[in-house]
Amino acid sequence: MRVLTVLAVFSGFRFASAAPQQESPAHTFDYIVVGAGPGGLTIASRLTENPSVSVAVIEAGTWSESVTGNQSQVPSYDFYYNGKSPNDTNPLDEWGFVTTPQAGISGQAVHYTRGKSLGGCTNLNYMGYTQTAAGALQMWADKVGDTSYAYESSSYYYRKSMNFTRANKELRLPNTTTSEAVGTAAIGGPLDVTYASWAQSFSTWVAIAMNAIGIHTTDAFINGNLNGSSWLTSTINPRNGHRESAETAYLSPVIGRPNLKVFDLTLGERIIFDRNKVARGVEVTTVNRTYTLNARREVIVSGGAFQSPQLLQVSGVGPADLLRQHNIPVVADRPGVGQNLNDHVFFGIAYRVNVLSAAAMQYGDFAAKAIAQFNEDGTGPLASPGGDFAAYEKLPQDIRAKFSPDTLNELAQVPDDWPEMQYLTLPTFVGTFESASAGAPQDGFQYGTLLATLIAPSSQGNISISSPRMSDHPLINPNWMTTKRDIELVIGGFKRLRQILESPVMGNVTIGPEYYPGAEVQTDNEIHEQIKKSFNTMYHASASCKMGKRSDPYAVVDSHARVYGVKNLRVVDASAFPFIVPGLPQATVYMLAEKIADDIKRGNQNLFQI
């Protein structure tokens, strides 16, 4: 049972859902931001702190609450429309992208959720908040030739974005709280980060089991450390229990600023360049009418890892051969636009359990009581995003012993504090991840799943336009699990899941043998085939407009997010990462946007980037 309530309380919000009648100074802005996800809304909010600076935000979607009710507010609804079946999509606030057939998973084409609303993917994600590893940020600094990306400097921008609230110990028992690293979390930023008021019973047993096999408890993952196990912090508002998104944190509080205008239900069609390759505006379409918004200073692209490279390509910035195939005039031949796509994948093992799980919240009196409790004060089972306990590690030696020399040599180049696996608890059955309910047993039992995520992937994919139009979906090729290293790592991660779940401690909570996929899956080949069938993406697509040094022919932006080959154009979202970072990326998107906003405010000139 799931109750979604449509909200219609937007009086006083300042947005435009109709095209202007004609071009005029009223439709010229200092900055135009294309895309209202965490990157775009952070930039827009920070730039409009100066009342003399005008910003337009272009977003193809609208307010999520106005089209999907409270689906974007209730934490436990985060798994709806996040399945890999092409049919598991909600066109009201999601793009419905489907990948090309994927060689690494026997030719499957997979639904890839991307938010289409004010707030973007932060209205749909699993809400987990982790800062990335300090070693990854040092590698970032080295790759782009800018020491300001090292953790000592970038940690300032993580803290600037967040408003951390400690766990509510009146609602969470002592065995469901963690020792947060005092001094590393920040108070006063726009983005609420805290612990859900409801902790999952299954997770308490997994926490003990992880300690038993050597994955020890650590502080919350908000201080540059991604090794050990801990209760997960989430983007949740501690005052009402609702999801915190880029919209609630960075847009709604400032929507009344007269120098900020939001063009919702408006598709950015292409960037307009003058003869000197200077970005001068954006051609957009609202309700079937096409017109131009003009930029005095810069255009900032924040469309995400799929649509940022797509917008650059349809605008003439990208691989010249691809652009000519679609009769697009080449403004700048940048072969890296759409390349270097990285992603995280996960998969799991399920048991029947003797504690409460998500199955109890689907029907009957318990579901009704949970809904009533959340509606009353934002607490109870619906206040949990589900996955609330995580661990990170490099796989132990007994598993590494079967890795090939090539894989071991490659992994030796990864920073010491960059883990290879993330483990995440989930109080439900997910099976093959086709949808939130597909394949779930209807047998009256409760289920718990432990997931493993490959967070040191080497496979790379790409994004290519399918036509000169933004309204046509791009060709999305994540190329998951196509390298020997990735295959060996996921097989090792599956074996490690079994070590955790077969710990004697877990006998206190599990019922019977492994339920899914079952003990008959044993050999490396059987495990690999099982993972290909039952994996899903974590929806962490990154680095398709990668940041890099000028000497790197596949770099798209410099360390200030300025696009090489043109002027007055930046890309600020996960596509601008130089590589996918370990951990959950939303915190790093906010960090990057805060950092680039400061760059712009300081007058960092957008010099011609050839």
Q: List the catalytic residues.
A: 540
Tracing tokens 């409460």 back to the chain, one arrives at 356
Residue in the block written with tokens 């890839």: 112
**C-alpha to C-alpha distances, 219 to 228, 232, 390, nearest whole angstrom:** 8, 10, 12
d(CA 404, CA 406): 5
* Whole-angstrom distance, CA of residue 475 vs CA of residue 479: 12
Q: How far apart are CA 121 and CA 93, in angstroms?
A: 10
3-state secondary structure of 231: strand
Q: How many residues does the chain have?
A: 610
Is residue 137 a contact partner of residue 154, using CB atoms and an 8 Å limit?
A: yes
Sign of the torsion formed by the C-alpha atoms of 58, 61, 64 and 67? positive
Q: CB of 567 within 8 A of CB of 278? A: yes
Identity of the residue numbered 412: A
In Å, what is the CA distance from 207 to each residue of 184, 211, 347, 515, 539?
23, 7, 19, 20, 25
- Nearest CA-CA partner of 585 in 452, 422, 460: 422
Q: What share of the chain is helix, strand, coil (3-state, %, to 5)?
A: 30, 20, 50
CA distances (Å), origin 201, targets 170, 176, 217, 236, 237: 16, 9, 17, 20, 22
Among 482, 509, 545, residue whose Cα is nearest residue 427: 509
DSSP track, 536-573 = EE-S--B-TT-B--TT-TT--B-TT-BBTTSBSEEE-S
CA distance 117 to 41: 11
Interatomic CA distance for residues 579 and 143, integer angstroms: 9
* DSSP sequence for 60-109: SSB-HHHHHGGGGT-GGGGGTT-SSSTT---TTTB--EEPPPBGGGTTB-
The tokens for 294 are 């003009």
Helical H segments across 234-363, by residue range:
246, 304-314, 320-325
DSSP class of 338: T
- The tokens describing 67, both together, are 């089209």
Reference 74, options 251, 191, 236; nearest CA is 236
